[in-house]
Structure 1
């Protein structure tokens, strides 16, 4: 009798868990580096659908990081320094690759000196 009740409880666990499932949260990570006055500015939607502005600007030679937990999508613009290139990388497995080169860890793009443009941030459909 006890083993039957344990088996019934085990069978019921997955169905109860499915009713409480929520989409996975993940941090969107954009990194950029370059020399001189460069900028990457993003308008992203949070989980409530509100627009949030995030920006990173050139500060020396190291990587600068822009992060947002559970971004639902948005767009980013960039401007490289007039005389130096700008490198941008994107990390976060739930987000599509908006940059020119896909890598094992995400994707990346080098913007030539004086270059500017924009890209879209899209969250992948988890059902795929």
Structure 2
């Protein structure tokens, strides 16, 4: 089967985790996806990251979309393999973030969050951004 024929991963086939580190008042981090299924899957596009508040509701953050191209626009993960994507969060002046985030690609799932849960509370661009997934194994 060619990589283009491998089916896109659905939520139950991936386990996500997000690790943040402080970076000059904002956060930079790494989103990790692990194929927990018993078949190869495709993970397409740049991931979307939406922090979830302590009340369980998605925070009203904005996502900045950068236009760099990657060909192909996906990674293929065999069972147990991992992919990572760098992520950034500039600032936050809203409700407190909890320890989960909503992750979107061609599907949607939740990720456990470690490290600082939000940037320093300050006004400014509250944008999140991400780059492409790359195989980590």
TM-score range, shorter chain: 0.3 to 0.5
Q: Which has the higher helix share?
A: 1
Q: Which has the higher strand share?
A: 2
Larger radius of gyration: 1
Task: Identify the structure with bigger relative contact order (alpha carbons < 8 Å, sequence gap 6+).
Answer: 2
> Normalising by structure 2, what TM-score?
0.31
> Normalising by structure 1, what TM-score?
0.33
